[in-house]
């Protein structure tokens, strides 16, 4: 299906964020396009002291993708993947395919099957 022909809602567009814990261990966080990540809630749920976004050059080193084009599929390093649980309730999501502006539509269950992602609740309205 041509994504240009589909009316996308911001909650169905999923951004891939490269973050790190207090020991600088990288992770991917999948979040609705219209939400921010509560790093405190995320850290609490995954058993870390703190979580913060990686600097762009560090994120690129971990993922192999440029900022704005990060995909959770085919990253340079294997990293844990956390997905906002409400994303899994959607019928279809659109996630970055590895290049800025290149979105791939898929069923959210693919995230659990392929990555495998762990569901968390850490969304804050943007």
Tens digit of each residue's pLDDT (9 = 90 or more) over 22-80 = 999 999 999 999 999 999 999 999 999 999 999 999 999 999 999 999 999 999 999 99
Strand partners, 16: 30
Question: CA–CA separation, 92 vs 122, rounded Å?
Answer: 20
Task: Please give the model's pTM, rounded to 2 decimal places.
Answer: 0.92
């Amino acid at each position: 299906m041509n994504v240009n022909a589909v009316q996308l809602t911001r909650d169905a567009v999923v951004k891939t964020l490269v973050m790190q814990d207090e020991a600088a261990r990288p992770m991917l966080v999948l979040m609705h396009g219209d939400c921010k990540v509560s790093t405190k809630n995320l850290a609490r749920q995954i058993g870390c002291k703190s979580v913060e976004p990686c600097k762009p050059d560090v994120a690129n080193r971990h993922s192999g993708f440029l900022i704005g084009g990060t995909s959770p599929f085919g990253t340079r390093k294997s990293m844990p993947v956390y997905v906002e649980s409400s994303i899994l309730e959607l019928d279809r999501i659109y996630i970055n395919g590895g290049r800025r502006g290149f979105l791939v539509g898929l069923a959210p269950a693919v995230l659990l099957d392929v990555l495998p992602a762990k569901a968390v609740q850490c969304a804050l309205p943007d």
